[in-house]
Amino acid sequence: MPSVFTSETVVGAIIGSGLTLLIGWYLQNRKESRELRQTIVSQLCSRNYDMIAALMELYSVRVQSKNKDEERRSLANFTRLEGATMEFEILIWRTFRSRKVRVAYHKILNRMEKTKELITQHGIPSQENFNLAITWIEEQVSKTTQFASQVAGISMHDPARIAWLGINPHKWNDEIENLSFRDEEPPWIFDLQINFRKRQLNPDALKVVKERIRLKVGDMRCKIHKRAAHICLKGNGPDDFEFNVEACCAEFGEAVHRKVTPEKANMKSRPNRIQ
C-alpha cells in the first residue's frame, strides 16, 4: 500500500507547525510586554509621589529644624529614592519604545533635581515657591502617566462621553515640546528665549535685549498663582518676530505684555521691532 505522506506533505506540516509556534510565541511575548508596561504605569505614580513626599519632608526639616544631622538624614533618604527612580528610568527605556514616554519621564527627574536645588542650595525658599515646585512636578507626573497609559493600552478617558475639542493651533508646537528632552524653566524663575530663524542678534545685542526685558518684567509675579512669566521672541529676525508670553493666566500674560510693549494691545503682535 503506497504511503499517503509525500515529501511535500511532510515539509508543509513542518512549516505549518513552525509558523504556529512562531505566531504563538509572538502573541505571548506581546501579551507579556503589554502586561509589563501596564504594571510599570501602575508603579509610576506611586514611585514619583514617594519622591514628592521626600521633598516635602526635606523642606519641612529645613524650615523647622536647625539640626543638621536630621537635615542630612532627610537628604540621604531623598538620594536613595533618587537612585531608585533613575533605575526605574532604565526600566522605562527598556520597556517603552515611545520617545514621548522617555522624554516625559526624564523631565520628571529634571524637575525633582531642580526642586532639590531650590530647597538645599538657595537658602530656604518661601512656601509659595515650594508649592509652585511641587505643582510643577505633579503636572509632569500626570502628563507622563497619560503618555505611558496610551502606549500600554490603558484608557484614561471616559468612553461614555464625547467632547469636541476643536482645532488646536499650537498642536505642532506641543508635539515638538513633547519630543524634546529640553524642559521648561521652573515656574518660580523668569525665563526669556529668543528664537530667530534667519537673522540672529550678535551676542552683545542679545545680552542687552535680554537685560532690558528682564529689568522690566523679571520680578513680576502673578498675584493669584505666584508664577513668573516665560517669554519667547520668535520669528525671522530682530525686525520681524512675535512676542509670546507664556503665563499662568490671561490677566497676568496681558500685564506682562503691556509692561514690555505698552503700545501693543494683543499678546501676539506681528511684526515687532527691537529698538
Does residue 201 lie in a domain region? Answer: yes
| Count helices and strands in the chain by DSSP H and E runs | 7, 3
Q: What is the pLDDT along the chain (275 residues), one digit of tens a residue?
A: 455 556 666 555 566 666 565 555 444 555 456 787 888 888 888 888 899 999 999 999 888 877 788 888 888 888 888 888 888 888 888 888 889 889 999 999 999 999 999 998 878 888 989 999 999 999 999 899 888 888 888 765 555 454 444 445 455 556 666 666 677 778 878 888 887 777 777 788 788 888 888 888 888 888 888 888 888 887 777 777 777 888 888 888 888 888 877 544 333 433 344 44
Angle 242-243-245 (CA atoms, 0-180°, nearest 5)?
A: 135
Specify if 22 maps to a domain. yes
235: left (phi over 0), alpha (psi -120 to 50) or beta: left
Residue 224 lies in a domain: yes
**145 shares its domain with 55:** yes
User: Which three three-digit cell numbers place residue 203?
Assistant: 551676542
Query: Is 239 among the domain residues?
Result: yes
Domain boundary among the residues 152, 171, 205 is at: 152
Residue 127 shares a structural domain with residue 235 = no
CATH number of the domain where residue 125 is located: 1.20.120
At residue 176, the pLDDT reads: 61
Check whether residue 25 and residue 146 sit in a common domain.
yes
Residue 92 sits in which domain range?
14-152
Phi and psi (nearest 5°) for 20? -65, -45
Q: What pLDDT score was predicted for residue 261?
A: 73
Number of domains the chain is built from: 2
Torsion of CA 170, 176, 178, 182, to 10 degrees: -120
- The 10 Å Cβ neighbour count of residue 233 is 20
Q: For 132-167, b where at least 16 C-beta lie within 10 A, e where not — what string?
A: bbeebbbebbebbbbbbbbbbeeeeeeeeeeeeeee
pLDDT on residue 137: 92
Q: What are phi and psi of 76, to 5 degrees?
A: -65, -40
